[in-house]
Amino acid sequence: MGISLKDVAARAGVSVKTVSNVVNGYRHVTPATRQRVQQVIDELGYRPNLTARHLRKGRTGIIALALPELGNPYFAELADAVISYAAGLDYIVLLDHTNGRRDQEVLFAQGFRARLIDGLILSPIELENEDLLARGNDAPLVLLGEREYEAPHDHIAIDNVAAARTATRHLLDLGRRRVAFLGARHGRVRRVAHLRLRGWRAAIAESPGAADGDELVAATDGYTRGDGAQAMARLLDSGAAPDAVFCYNDLIAVGAMRTLTERGVRVPEDVAVVGFDDIDDGRYCSTSLTTIAPHKQAIAQAAVDALLARLDGGDEAAQAEPRHIRPGFALIRRESTLGRPLESG
């Protein structure tokens, strides 16, 4: 197969361990020996076998990142951030997708790929609390995203209630009075979009003249542009007559804007739109999208740091109380609420 320590050792006339010491930068090696060994290493093109090293060390240096889907640019961008940050800390990221299905999420939480990975960062959608409690796996787990659990794991998420409230208040401040919420998932209004829906309600409750009927909450089947387009169509047909829409995420918002344009409804004059995620698409829509921008870099770093703290921090760190970390967010104001600036170029 390949060149092993043994080959290098034989050629350099030293023991296997000495070569290992050189490779790992162990202190007590004579400069002369080190140089000779290094030369043979370069000569033969030796590269350590990670598999063997990992077996011996009991750690693989691989962490898994399980996201619902990569097709959603938010997750793709987040994955990018996690991979880059982890690489800087000499960890390899194994990227997986769960399709947002409970059985797949359970699989990962239960330790799918156990012993191949040192730890897991999971962004769950359908996972239940009991699935986490029944976890028969010791690899550290960090949770990501809106859902909240009572299981003892670190959790990284922006303050979804505050963010949704900020977005909704922005619409109300512009004078809108019938602000709809798009994206509470069918049959699970309580659970999945819980926090963002709560933020929406809070902002509306604070604003005297604002309509707050349930007819302004439109469910979707999923989180794609198509779901947003359909839900927007249903909302318009229902006669709820919104003058603004706060969407669960940017994809839904883009889909909603598409339906609005198709029907000749002007954005933002007739209906203003706000999204959530700040994906790149939103910036280049023909009507650029106002949105909540979670600080993805900060989320990625917090998730990796939390995981590595448990991995590398020794026993006291591994046993420490679970932490809830809240990275920041910002409201990015664009044309879908402010309107098009006067001809600028």
Interface with DNA (CB under 7 A): 1-2, 4-6, 13-18, 20-21, 23-24, 27-30, 32-33, 46-49, 52-53, 55-58
Looking at the Cβ atoms of 8 and 216, the one nearer to DNA is 8
C-alpha 143/C-alpha 122 separation (Å) is 5
Using CA atoms, how far residue 189 sits from 194, 205, 215, 220, 256, in Å, is 7, 18, 13, 10, 19
Is 292 in contact with 254 (CB distance < 8 Å)?
no
- Say which entry of DNA, a second copy, none residue 80 contacts (CB below 5 to 8 A, set by partner kind): a second copy
- Of 23-31, 111-119, 192-200, 297-305, the window that binds a second copy (rule: CB under 8 A) is 111-119
Footprint of a second copy on 290-329 (CB under 8 A): none
Indicate if the alpha-carbon torsion angle 76, 77, 80, 81 is positive or negative.
Answer: negative
Of 204 and 245, nearer to a second copy (C-beta) is 245
Sequence length of the chain is 345
Tell me the C-alpha distance between 236 and 182, whole Å: 12
Smallest gap from Cβ 314 to a second copy, in A, equals 16
**Nearest to a second copy of 110, 166 (CB atom):** 110
CA distance 176 to 272: 8
**How distant, in Å, are the alpha carbons of 5, 6, 52, 164, 247 from that of 48?**
8, 11, 8, 50, 50
User: Of residues 35, 89, 103, 114, which one binds a second copy by CB under 8 A?
Assistant: 114
Minimum distance from CB of 247 to a second copy (Å)? Answer: 13
CB atoms within 10 A of CB 260: 23
Give yes or no for residue 1 binding a second copy (CB under 8 A).
Answer: yes
Amino acid at 188: R
Q: Which of a second copy, DNA, none is residue 343 near (CB under 5 to 8 Å by kind)? A: a second copy
Footprint of a second copy on 324-343 (CB under 8 A): 340, 343
Task: State which residue, 100 or 199, has the beta carbon closest to a second copy.
Answer: 100
Task: Choose the one of a second copy, DNA, none that binds residue 230, judging by a C-beta under 5 to 8 angstroms depending on kind.
Answer: none
Q: Which one of a second copy, DNA, none is in contact with 76 (Cβ closer than 5 to 8 A by kind)?
A: a second copy
Pairwise CA distance, residues 174 & 272, whole Å: 9
Order across the sheet with 154-156: list the strands: 92-97, 62-67, 119-122, 141-144, 154-156, 324-325
Q: Shortest distance, CB of residue 119 to a second copy, whole angstroms?
A: 14
Task: Pull the structure tokens for residue 30.
Answer: 């004579």
By C-alpha distance, which of 113, 69, 74, 75 is closest to 94? 113
* CB distance 123 to 67 below 8 Å: yes
**Contact with a second copy (CB under 8 A): which of 58, 208, 209, 239?**
58
**Interacting positions 213-272 with a second copy (CB under 8 A):** 224-226, 229, 233, 254-255, 257-258, 261-264
Selection from DNA, a second copy, none that 15 binds (CB < 5 to 8 A by kind) is DNA
To which H or E segment does residue 283 belong? helix 280-284
Binding to a second copy (CB under 8 A) within 143-182 occurs at: none
Q: Does 118 bind a second copy (CB under 8 A)?
A: no
Closest contact distance (angstroms) between CB of 289 and a second copy is: 11
Do 310 and 143 meet the contact criterion of CB atoms below 8 Å apart?
no
Neighbours of 150 (CB within 10 A): 9
Binding residues (CB under 8 A) for a second copy: these are 1-2, 45, 47-52, 54-55, 58, 60, 69-71, 73, 76-77, 79-80, 83, 92, 94-97, 111, 113-116, 136, 138, 224-226, 229, 233, 254-255, 257-258, 261-264, 280-281, 283-288, 340, 343-345
